[in-house]
Structure 1
Amino acid sequence: MSDSARETRRARQVQTVQAQPHSVQAPPRPVWVPAVRVLAGVAAALFLAVFFVWPILAMLVRGVMGEGGGLDASRFLTNLSAARTWRVAWQTVWLAFAGTAASVLFGVPLAFVLYRLEFPGRRVARAAAMIPFVLPTVVVGGAFRALFDPAGPYGALGLSQSNAAVVCAMAFFNAAVVARTTGTVWEKLPPHEEAAATLGASPARAFLTVTLPELVPAIAAGASLAFLFCATSYGLVVTLGTPGYGTLETEVFIQTTTFLDLPAAAVLSLLQAVIVLVAIWVSGIATRRTEVGLKLGSRRARRPGRAAIPAVAMTLIFVVGLVAAPIISLIVASFHRGGAWTVANYVDLVTPGTFNAGVTPAEAMVNSLRIGAEAALLALAVGLLVVVAAVRPARSGFGRWCQRLLDAGALAPLGISAVTLGFGIFITLRLRVSEPSMLIPVAQALVATPLVVRAVSPTLLAIDLRLREAAATLGASPWRVMATVDLPAMWRGLGVAAGFAFAISLGEFGATSFLATADSETLPVLVAKLLGRPGSQNYGMAMAAAVVLAVLAGLVVLLSDMAGDVQRAGDVLERAPHGMERNQRA
């Protein structure tokens, strides 16, 4: 066949295809593909209904039950109107406000340094700024207890086991959250303050009159998130000595374990839930108001000048005085006993017989790793079921309503304190199962599931639908499309999700403190127990165990960083309370 004949034949083939544009189509989607999404949604909904909705509702009902088992509103009102209830509630609120104020005080200058100034290693510094946020609460509590101990660096201040120590620890955790929420907006604002400076305004006046009003929504979003985390700092308050009346979470634990007053504990849990839900609602409103700022163009960072001295000074005070000092104090205290340097605290962790109740520290470490792995796998499984079922809108109105309900249910554990969740599981399921310790990974998985959903759903949404259609056109089955298109794209999100689910489970303390039995205590529970016992040996072992827990959590974050990055993980942690972005494509 000559070349001209081949060209003529090819032209006829092209004309035939153009004349019949719909003759070649992707194979129809199998009817069982929607059924897979439905089954995934049903499985996730059943898990959430049994282990989250039922315990929470049962806890609320317990608050209005009388001694005979019937409803008794008068008992509920009596517990609600008790003077101690409102003293504890007030201390919870004002501690959260004080911790939020301290977080904003240090977080805004930190945002300026990290997002508006140019210096070597800025990206590394941004990633490192999120590390305090992922440390277990008992580790941070132990660090600040060593810092404010009468023999510690800040012992002369007389703030040991005080509310001020709790507020400082809250700022340690949440200043980076405020900095990240504010900084991502600050670096995208137009250069209005430069125009004000051109007109003769001083740097301070330009900031107060131009930049600060533009940053108010972002600061409010970060502050509301900080308030949410400060209001649920159970581990910090317990390890720092439960100053004053304590908080609603510590009071729930006391009423449950000491006074066995479950109705009173239910009322306190209800108040705690209301505070947290209001904080999430305010945070959602404030975050939506920052979206306009986030759509603006980026600005080049500038070199530090005289105008940056106040922000740099505040950042140095925070980093040195409230970040580095507690960690160094914790490490130093772990190598001290009786005023002398020693490694006995670490040796005692692995020496049988040094701990005369429950599990040994070495056994608690093994329990933490095992339970953390189980919780992470369970959280990944439930999170993936939610993502598969709800991340892409259904075609029917009823289906979309079910998806929204599943979304809300998956993210709802963020709106409930871990102590409240643990208490609910305690009164509903702990006596109904043959092995109560199996409930610990379930509770920890519930805490981690919202973060798994937030880490995985954006990567799945980012996959171009045309890739799936092309694979289906070439004859790939839905399972092969998932294996060759979806999973490779989701791998990074899965790595971040698995790492942070494991890290959260490893340091979880609130729910675990209700559910742990004598032979299933985890390392955070053991650290708190050691800190509550007198004696230099118990204190030194607590410091050493806290260092070990911090190292384990750091290794988990490092491994997660290999799959994703700390910057991405920071986005996951900060935006988790606001729900999943939904895909609007058909």
Structure 2
Amino acid sequence: MRRLAYVVLAAFPLAVLAVFFLLPVGGMLQRGVWPDGRFDPGSVLEVLARPRTARVVWLTVWTSTLATALSIALGLPAAYVLHRLRFPGRSIVRALTLVPFVLPTVVVGVAIRQLVAPSGVLGFLGVDGTPPAIVFGLVFFNVAVVIRTVGAAWEGLDRRPGDAAAALGARPWQVFRTVTLPALRPALVAAASVVFLFCATAFGVVLVLGGAHYSTVETEIYYLTVDYLDLPAAAALSLVQLVAIVVLLVVAARLRAVPDPTVRRSLAAPTRPGRADLPALVVTALVLVAVAAPIAALVVASFRVDGSWSLAAYRALRDSGHASAADGAGGGLFLVPVTEALSNSLAIAVDATWMSMLLGTTVAVLVTRRVRTRAGRITRGGFDALFMLPLGVSAVTLGFGFLITLDQPPVDLRSSPLLVPIAQALVALPIVVRTLVPVLGGVDDRQRQAAASLGAGPIRTLLTVDLPILWRPLLAAAGFAFAVSLGEFGATAFIVRPDTPTLPVFIFRLLEHPGPLNYETAMAGSVVLAVLTAAVILVVERLRVPLIGAW
């Protein structure tokens, strides 16, 4: 009976994944390999043989590799300072370093662009609209992944081996190289894998900073679909990207095991900074400056209109969609004002959050149940990996799949208001699962058995044993899913309706169409979106649940 209940419970998320993920991705694959209704792998090779495709792939590879290396180099010292040292305001600083990772990618691109523009603080570098600006944006976005992933592992390291090496005369660098670094290697490799994955599938950052001239695979799929209507070529490129990302995801998954059961680690007590910590403190300070500078530049730009301080851009948020084209402020671009786009974003994010929480909690419960047979463990691991696939498929590919598959019976959702929330829920789903799995896996099954032996039913056991442990991670997962959905741009850009745009889409359209107040209004909208996202994450951080560390 219990096994049947698990099968029935698993059927629900599997059905959702099949319809809203496997079907769209399968439709995308069909367009790439069966372009004219017959099997033709040569069409993929033809796309790959194009000179522009080679440039796009090479740009994707080297910018992702360089951004990953820089994220590791900057994030490793910061992880040590923020997770192993004690100083006033440490929790606030840790929360602030997480904010860039959850900022909408369009906002990140706008913030970096404002900083490196000819009129910006770093304008003298002349990197506006070039690959170095893209790399800067990718590092800005992903350094938090390294800090949290490596920092969570560093907190749990036993100090005694390092102390013993120091007592035997090893210098601090020798202790780090011979003792600490080998212990951190799995976390470092895992962080590097995830960062490279995020860099290779970055969309909004590259779209804003590189444009059509410096396009990665992700943005090239977008241009092939939207600007050139070359769906077979876009599908072929998506297929190549999908294969490469899934291979990387499999490698990363081998470094992560579902706990069965999780052994609770004792966190090492932080120590006061010493003289030997000065280099790490300097690097951490540079990371904080690099994080704060683009956001500060964005805020300043939102209050500057025609060289003067003004609130005109914020006032324009109320009427951008209703002004005439000559009036500027987005006139003629949309059917609604920016404030309504923000309302759409909030409503969609709420729907996407409850959807991802419903699916994610169900999946987390299933992949943390105790199994005693090898076949059961293999099945559970496969089930867990299956629901990590949305992490390995770019949001652009997912939105593209929605565009070409969910437009005819029996699944015709092109006009449904639920289409965008469903796409955003699938993007947030892996984050929800990875946040809840470590906590659920750490619940001692003996507590449930004791409650059952005292006559508690399944619901009473859930309320008395699991819920007191799970409520904080549930709130944290919901907050993180809400923030991710609020700023999602890749899939949404394909399927959002013109009369119900989200705020990230609205911001990008304003940037695409120069005009009076358009740029300043985009800055103001970006600030509003950044403040909302940062506020949600700062609240989540107060729950003290390791979000990214779960990866």
Q: TM-score, structure 1 length as denominator?
A: 0.84
CA offset digits 1:331-354 (Å, max 9, x no partner): 000111111111010100012424
Does residue 310 of the first structure (1) align with residue 279 of the second (2)?
yes
Could you tell me which residue of structure 1 aligns to residue 326 of structure 2? none
Partner residue, 2:531: 551
AA partner of residue 129 (structure 2):
Q
Structure 1 unaligned runs (5+)? 1-30, 289-293, 576-586
Is 1:335–2:303 an aligned residue pair?
yes
The answer on whether the counterparts of 1:437 and 1:515 sit within 8 Å (CA) in structure 2 is no
Partner deviation per Cα, 1:527-566 (whole Å, 9 max, x = no partner): 111112223511101110011111111232244345x33x
CA distance in 2, matches of 1:154, 1:318: 16
Distance of 2:40 and 2:523 partners within structure 1: 46
Matched, 1:115 2:83: yes
Q: Answer yes or no: is 1:167 the counterpart of 2:108.
A: no
Tell whether 2:333 aligns with 1:357.
Answer: yes
CA distance in 1 between counterparts of 2:65 and 2:26 reads 28
2:224, 2:233 within 8 Å by CA — same for their partners in 1?
yes
CA distance in 1 between partners of 2:83 and 2:307 (Å): 43
| Seq. identity, % | 46
The one-letter code matched in structure 1 to 2:475 is G
State which drifts further: 363-372 or 103-112: 103-112
| Structure 1 residue aligned with 2:364 | 387
Matched, 1:248 2:248: no
- 1: CA distance, partners of 2:212 / 2:187: 32
What are the superposed Cα offsets for residues 261-312 of structure 1, whole Å, 9 maximum, x if unpaired?
1111111112222332233234345567xxxxx9998655444333333222
Preserved contact between residue 430 and residue 439 of structure 1 (Cα < 8 Å): no
**CA gap 1:460/1:535 in 2 versus in 1, 3 angstroms:** same
Q: Whole-Å Cα distance in 1 between the matches of residues 236 and 76 of structure 2? A: 36
Note the alpha carbon deviations across 1:460-480, whole angstroms, 9 max, x for none. Answer: 333343443344344443334
User: Are positions 1:70 and 2:48 aligned together?
Assistant: no
Match of residue 346, structure 1, among 309, 314, 328: 314
Report the residue type matching 2:342 in the other structure.
M
- The structure 2 residue matched to 1:537, chosen from 509, 517, 536, is 517
Distance 1:357 1:127 in 2: 36
- CA RMSD, Structure 1 to Structure 2 (Å): 2.7
Distance in 2 (alpha carbons) for counterparts of 1:514 and 1:54? 17
1:105 is matched with which residue: 73, 79, 97? 73
1:506 and 2:486 are equivalent in the alignment: yes
The structure with the largest alpha-carbon Rg is 1
1:522 corresponds to which of 491, 502, 519:
502
CA gap of 1:259–1:470, structure 2 versus 1, over 3 A, is same
Distance 2:413 2:392 in 1: 26
Q: Which residue of 1 aligns with 2:22?
A: 53
Give the Å deviation of 1:171: 1.3
Instruction: Supply the distance in 1 between the matched residues of 2:378 and 2:14 (Cα, whole angstroms).
Output: 14
Residue 53 of structure 2 aligns to a residue whose secondary structure is helix
Equivalent residue number for residue 422 of structure 1: 399
- How far has the Cα of 1:400 moved from its partner? 5.7
For the residues of structure 2 that align with 1:468 and 1:106, how far apart are their CA atoms?
Answer: 44
Matches within 5 A, 1:271-282: 271-282=240-251
In 2, the alpha carbon distance for the partners of 1:465 and 1:213 equals 33
* Alpha-carbon distance between aligned partners in 2 of 1:105 and 1:557, rounded to the nearest angstrom: 25
Indicate if the aligned counterparts of 2:43 and 2:236 stay in contact, CA closer than 8 A. no
The answer to whether the aligner puts 1:569 opposite 2:547 as a matched pair is yes
- Structure 2: where are the runs of 5+ without partners? 258-262, 324-328
Rounded to whole Å, the distance in 2 between the matches of 1:203 and 1:254 is 51
TM-superposed deviation, 1:139: 1.4
Provide the rounded CA distance (Å) in 1 between the counterparts of 2:185 and 2:78: 16
What SS does structure 1 have at the residue aligned with 2:201?
A: coil
Alignment of 1:330-479 (within 5 A): 330-351=298-319, 352-353=322-323, 354-355=329-330, 356-358=332-334, 359-393=336-370, 402-430=379-407, 432-433=412-413, 435-479=415-459
Shift of 1:213: 5.2
Per-residue CA distance 1:158-177 (angstroms, 9 max, x = gap): 11122111111111122222
2:50 is the alignment partner of 1:82: yes
Secondary structure, counterpart of 2:44 in structure 1? helix
* C-alpha distance in 2 between matches for 1:313 and 1:510: 35
Distance 2:466 2:530 in 1: 34
CA–CA distance in 1 between the matches of 2:300 and 2:419? 36
Q: Give the direction of change, closer, same or farther, for the CA distance of 1:486–1:340 in structure 2 (3 Å limit).
A: same
Using a 3 Å threshold, how does the CA distance of structure 1 residues 183 and 465 change in structure 2: closer, same or farther? closer
Which residues of 2 match residues 181-200 of structure 1 at below 5 A? 181-187=149-155, 188=157, 190=159
Alpha-carbon distance between aligned partners in 1 of 2:407 and 2:62, rounded to the nearest angstrom? 33
